Amino acid sequence: MDPVLARIAPSVDAAFYLARNPDVARAGMAAAEHYWRAGWREGRDPSAWFATEYYLRANPDVAGAGLNPLWHYLERGRREGRPPRPPGGPWREELDRPHPAAPPAALPADPLGPAVLRQRLAAACAGARGLVLALSHDRYTEIPGGTQLLIAGEQRKVNGDGGTYLHLCPAVAGHGLAPAADAPAALGVTLDGAWLGVATADRLAAALRALPAALRRLLVVHALHGWQPETVAALAAALRPHERVFWAHDYGAGCASPRLLRNDIAPCHGPPPDSLGCRICRHGDGRVEHLARVRALFAAVPFCLAAPSATAAAAWTRSTGLKVAAVHVHPHAVLAPQPPRPAAGGPVRIGFIGAAAYHKGWPWFRDLVGAARALPEYRFFHFADAAALRPMDGLAGVAVSVTPAAPFVMQQALAARRIDLVLALSPWPETFSYAAHEALAAGADLLTVAGSGHIAALVRATGRGAVLADADALAAFVLSRRAVPLVRARREAGRPGAHLHHVGSTATLALSDAAAITDDPDLHLLIGRRRIDAARDRDVFRFALPPAAARRRVVRLRSRSLDTAWDPALCGDGRHLGVAVRALALDGVPVPPVRLGAGWHAAEDELRWTDGDAAIDVAAARCLDVRIAPMLRYWRVPLFVA
């Protein structure tokens, strides 16, 4: 073997190289051999820790001599103190990364017309308990993410309690606030989870103004990214909401940098807009105008603030300086501790959850894997959507896609691989971190840094893991093997776990004295748009059906509903549940399974669950009896309890 190839081969990360260079993988060539023959001349990087073009540019003597840069670094450069990639580490990489401007929003040729909007909204609100108008930065039904999953759960809870859910977002996503413009904004419209299309803000406002005054209405803002605050104020004026909620999912109300990162790299803690800190930041020039526009919105719309943690409420208030009518701390999810389970032995299993993004702390995790993958005490795992995985030698990628229909798959994946530690290295003060809660629910502990916001507060409150000063201190903690006794002690005590209950959305926020939990399933029939209530005798609901000539054969049995919390002991039961039906009878005759349509789960012994909206073919019957097993407590939308 060529001596240069022999020297560099152990330092070429084959998984990284072949993933980054699919042409080499298709050719069936070994990564080290390709880099030795041609890759370095083509500017390809042999691993995540070595930057070929930078090394040649920074060392013209190496480039002039025609030497393989990785070979030179291993033989001489490392000893001479020459860095393998640009100094400054992840901060420098992020600062140098290009930030392309978002394209301007373009209105499609066939936007939704005013008559169609009024008709669709009026039909959805007919007989509804209330309307929630929710605003966020993208289509929550199409884009994966923690906030999007929260909004999807919020919509289901509102619909399950008899309400209508109208969601709007900018037609084209943007960073920061959209510039003020004379033309009406183009907005994407989703109604009760179904995409309607794009409409102009003025047409939407007209449809909102046409709603009956008696309808209970709530305005909730989940994000301002890509929005004109002036448009939000105009929609609020048209809606005339009874309650107004602004969520502190991030800090975008106070700055175009929603994570409070100066130049998108270093924590800034939201200084005054005229401070030196803002003057040296790429977002500083526009922050005065940004805050002025948001203050005008809050002056026009008396929001109350909803924050998923006390940490988030304090940081949001301090960094924005905005005045609100009230502050509600309402977690997105809560952990109900469960008895410890036996833990397996072997190497310490360390995981990273989510996209390979700077604001998640990926660069520090990547470097740690490169430095520690040869240590026999550790195994490393990356859990993310298949497209977001970043192959590396010594790192096992696990494809996991969390969706509204499968909200617990991340906990399942973490538990199945017996992850001991999850590294949560966010460089910004996270407001909640659903990933951190998923890790704890699956039995893993957390390693995090002091500046991670609610993640650090969560570790301190639960005693589940360790909080280090910064990413360098955390890396030293792992590389010095101090993480090993921490995990061994946890294993000896038994692997902890918890039920993770999805509770925190506007639908469960107690804006009044009304309780958010109820035993009443609100069982009723829906025939077309007509609601029919039952005469109830304890667990039996008797529905008087209209004459057959005046109705459809198939009716819908509707109720409140909820997602079950995932628990390893339940083998990942993640069904959406409505009511547990023990018996169905039409005119006193039991209903055979063939008469049941969509919305029914498989039969279990003496009962069968609905999903909250189940079809029944009642033919020409005049009476439907439903006997249920009262097994659930449901979320009730307090707003709808006048």
Q: Strand, coil or helix: what is 370?
A: helix
Q: Is the pLDDT of residue 571 over 50?
A: no
Residue 273 has pLDDT above 50, yes or no: yes
> Model confidence at 605, in pLDDT bands (50, 70, 90)?
confident
Domain that holds residue 391: 338-493
Least confident stretch, 19-33, 147-161, 493-507: 493-507
**Measured distance CA(443)–CA(425) in Å, rounded:** 19
Query: Cβ(270)–Cβ(338) under 8 Å?
Result: no
Query: How far from each other are the two terminal CA atoms of the chain, in whole angstroms?
Result: 81
Output 439-442 pairs: Cβ under 8 A, ≥24 positions apart: 439/351, 439/353, 439/414, 440/335, 440/464, 440/496, 440/498, 441/335, 441/411, 441/497, 441/498, 441/499, 441/500, 441/566, 442/410, 442/411, 442/412, 442/414, 442/415, 442/497
Same-domain status, 342 and 489: yes
Last residue of some domain: 47, 72, 87? 87
- For residue 217, give the H/E element and its range: strand 216-221
Is residue 82 within 8 A of residue 59, CB to CB? The reply is: yes
Please report whether residue 558 resides in a domain: yes
| pLDDT tens profile 311-352 | 999 999 999 999 999 999 999 988 888 888 888 889 999 999
- Asked whether residue 377 falls in the same domain as residue 479, the answer is yes
* pLDDT tier at 96, thresholds 50, 70, 90: low
Q: Is residue 144 included in any domain, yes or no?
A: no
Residue 477 and residue 576 in one domain: no
The partner residues of 166 in beta bridges, in order of sequence, read: 133, 191
Q: Residue 406 carries which DSSP code?
A: B
> Whose structure tokens read 């925190």?
504
Structural domain count of the chain: 3
Spatial distance between the Cα atoms of 250 and 257, rounded to a whole number of angstroms = 9
**Other CB atoms within 10 A of residue 489 CB:** 9
Whether 405 maps to a domain, the answer reads yes
User: Is 477 in the same domain as 584?
Assistant: no
Residues near 97 by beta carbon (within 8 Å), at least 6 away in sequence: none
Whole-number Cα distances in Å, 608 to 258, 452, 553, 597, 612 = 46, 45, 21, 13, 12
Calculate mean pLDDT across residues 371-397: 93
Residues 442 and 360 in one domain: yes
Do 462 and 526 lie in one domain? The reply is no
- Classify residue 594: in a domain, yes or no: yes
Average pLDDT, the chain: 90
The CATH number of the domain where 434 resides is what? 3.40.50.2000
Is pLDDT of 572 > 70?
A: no
Which comes out higher in pLDDT, residue 383 or 262? 383
Cβ–Cβ under 8 Å, residues 447 and 470? no
Last residue of a domain, one of 493, 509, 534: 493
Instruction: Tell me which of 201-205, 411-415, 486-490, 501-505 is least confident.
Output: 501-505
Q: Examine the domain organization and report whether 342 and 486 are in the same domain.
A: yes
Q: Are residues 402 and 535 in the same domain?
A: no
Kindly state whether residue 124 falls inside one of the protein's structural domains.
no
Q: Is 302 contained in some domain? A: no
- 254 found inside a domain: no
**Mean pLDDT lowest among 57-66, 296-305, 406-415, 474-483:** 406-415
pLDDT at 642 over 70: no
Last residue of a domain, one of 62, 87, 112: 87
pLDDT at 274 over 70: yes
Q: Are residues 352 and 487 in the same domain?
A: yes
**pLDDT mean over 29-49:** 93
75-82 contacts at long range (C-beta below 8 A, 24 or more positions apart) = 75/7, 82/55, 82/58
486 touches 323 (CB < 8 A): no
pLDDT digits (tens, 9 = 90+) for 420-458: 999 999 999 999 999 999 999 999 999 999 999 999 999
Residue range 605-611: average pLDDT? 91
437 and 567 fall within a common domain: no
Local confidence band at 183 (pLDDT 50, 70, 90 cut-offs): confident
Q: Which residue has the tokens 């393998």?
A: 84
Of 563 and 602, which is predicted with more confidence? 602
Task: Answer yes or no: do 465 and 592 share one domain.
Answer: no
* pLDDT digits 0-9 by tens, 122-136: 999 988 889 999 999
Same domain, 628 and 554: yes
Instruction: Decide if 376 contacts 103 (C-beta within 8 A).
Output: no
Q: What is the mean pLDDT of residues 368-377?
A: 91
